[in-house]
Amino acid sequence: MKKQYDFFILGAGLAGILLAYRLALSNKKVIIIDAKGVAEGASSTPLALANPATGRFAKKSYKSKEALDSIALILEGKEHILSSFVKKKKLIRPCFDIEIAEKTSKNVEVDNWENGSAEWLTKEEITHRFPLINESFGGLIVHNSYVFNPAAYLKYLLSEMRKYDCDVLEGINYQTTFEKDKQSWRIETETDIYTAGQLIHCTGHEMAHKKNVPGVAIKGQTISVSLNKKHSKSKEWTAFLSEYSISAQGYLCTLDQNEWVMGSTYEHRFNTTDPDESGLKYLTNKLKRISDELPNMVHVNNQWAGVRYSSPDRKPIIGTIDTEKKEHIFRGLASKGILYAHLYSKSMHDYLLYDHALPKEVTIDRYPL
């Protein structure tokens, strides 16, 4: 039996599912196919931040207000249902290096954060307000940030989409062909045949087409740790992390009091995509950098590794790779998947359904194919 859809989406990570969710809400029939499974790529990171401050010197991320607004719009009215896997929290970025502190404070001055959504704390202020953290040279507080459990969140969006005419195929082998005479895509699995008018590659760091889209794959690792509740400062840390996440060239955050996540490594050269000893050591050192006492207060439960895909300018890559075949791409979310999947899935949705122009900063046309 042939099943017909409007859109095939290849890849069930943040890019694929947010786009599919938006298309489904516009009454389009969507089928998502993931070679492995839902949120089994980079989007399976145990926890991720919607972090509007970027890089070593905490520059305000481009379009960060629009991106945070687009998250708020999707979450609106669902906060209660989502409360165990998405939480709004403040983000603190202590600067443990004097050069980083100087550059970050200058950035805060010029970045024009909307309505005091971020503020610079001097060395004295940060020490006074956050005595648990190692002494620093000052730091930034961002008031509007989120912690996500991406996999749980994506599974929730999928359950909502199933109320519409949408399907997901996981962990299967399939063949795609463009049927020129019918002007449509055909996907064949061992048991079924599906057709759809358009195809979108949301395959993260893996290339599922032949066009040469530029970018690099960067491995990242996280550790999940539990707090030793007998430690004298455990209550103070628990209270602190229920209100704040910490980002200090690596992030520490939690959604439930029992499990904290420390991420992430940035590995441009790697022989294995598995977690390894050097990742564990690096992340334990990061814990120590935040507070000397942390490594002795926690034990490691889990270690995780994933690969994120980054374009040369670290902005997503969106657009059409073959106009005749109606074949498109949405990838390159790099280390800001939460922030930008929400924003640019809306741009991609409006482009596909209403032919709206794509934002210049992310269109694939900026790279000659």
Ligand X SMILES: Cc1cc2nc3c(=O)[nH]c(=O)nc-3n(C[C@H](O)[C@H](O)[C@H](O)COP(=O)(O)OP(=O)(O)OC[C@H]3O[C@@H](n4cnc5c(N)ncnc54)[C@H](O)[C@@H]3O)c2cc1C
- Site for ligand X, rule CB under 6 A: 10-16, 33-36, 40-43, 45, 48-49, 51, 202-204, 206, 208, 220-222, 251, 263-264, 306, 308, 331, 333-339
- How far the first Cα of the chain sits from its last, in Å, is 37
Between 196 and 339, whose beta carbon lies closer to ligand X?
339
In sign, the C-alpha dihedral spanning 286, 289, 291, 293 is positive
Write the Ramachandran bin of 77: left for phi over 0, alpha for psi from -120 to 50, otherwise beta: left
Distances, alpha carbon 94 to alpha carbons 100, 112, 116, 313, in Å: 10, 19, 18, 26
Min dist CB 236 to ligand X, Å, is 24
Min dist CB 247 to ligand X, Å, is 9
Between 32 and 95, whose beta carbon lies closer to ligand X?
32
What is the rounded CA–CA span in Å between residue 126 and residue 92? Answer: 10
Between 123 and 217, whose beta carbon lies closer to ligand X?
217
Between 15 and 95, whose beta carbon lies closer to ligand X?
15
Min dist CB 263 to ligand X, Å, is 5
Pairing of strands 216-227, 298-310: antiparallel
Beta bridge partners of 329: 201, 319
Between 217 and 234, whose beta carbon lies closer to ligand X?
217
Min dist CB 123 to ligand X, Å, is 27
Between 105 and 303, whose beta carbon lies closer to ligand X?
303
- Supply 338's token pair: 């939460």
Min dist CB 124 to ligand X, Å, is 29
Distances, alpha carbon 319 to alpha carbons 82, 342, 358, in Å: 31, 16, 7
Min dist CB 233 to ligand X, Å, is 25
Pairing of strands 259-263, 216-227: antiparallel
Radius of gyration of the chain (CA): 21
Write the Ramachandran bin of 63: left for phi over 0, alpha for psi from -120 to 50, otherwise beta: left
Between 293 and 322, whose beta carbon lies closer to ligand X?
322
Between 286 and 331, whose beta carbon lies closer to ligand X?
331
Distances, alpha carbon 51 to alpha carbons 32, 48, 80, 85, in Å: 28, 9, 22, 16
CB atoms within 10 A of CB 159: 9
Min dist CB 305 to ligand X, Å, is 7
Min dist CB 326 to ligand X, Å, is 18
Residues 365, 321 contacting (CB under 8 angstroms): no
